[in-house]
């Protein structure tokens, strides 16, 4: 196994919302979208689809109180 293979993240099939406008490349993970989500770039309608993406890294902010 080479060094590059070790650095590649594992990809999971994730539900996304993709802009229906063929000229626009915007998409957002469905879990991060709001109800009635419109395209954040062109304000067009969004279409549900799937995409292979790495898992999200959950980062927790420590409370300094």
Cα–Cα dist 8/55, whole Å: 12
pLDDT at residue number 9: 79
pLDDT digits (tens, 9 = 90+) for 1-56: 455 556 787 999 999 999 999 999 999 999 999 999 999 999 999 999 999 999 88
pLDDT at residue number 8: 80
Q: What is the mean pLDDT of residues 55-61?
A: 80
Backbone angles phi, psi at 7, to 5 degrees: -90, -15
In the three-class reduction of DSSP (H, G, I as helix; E, B as strand; rest coil), residue 34 is classed as coil
Cα–Cα dist 50/30, whole Å: 9
- Sketch the domain layout of the chain as residue ranges: 10-52
* 60 — pLDDT class (breaks 50, 70, 90): confident
Cα–Cα dist 37/47, whole Å: 10
């Amino acid at each position: 196994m080479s060094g590059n293979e070790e650095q590649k993240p594992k990809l999971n099939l994730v539900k996304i919302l993709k802009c229906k406008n063929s000229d626009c490349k915007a998409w957002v993970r469905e879990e991060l979208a709001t109800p009635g989500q419109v395209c954040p770039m062109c304000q067009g309608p969004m279409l549900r689809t799937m995409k292979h993406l790495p898992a999200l890294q959950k980062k927790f902010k420590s409370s300094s109180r």
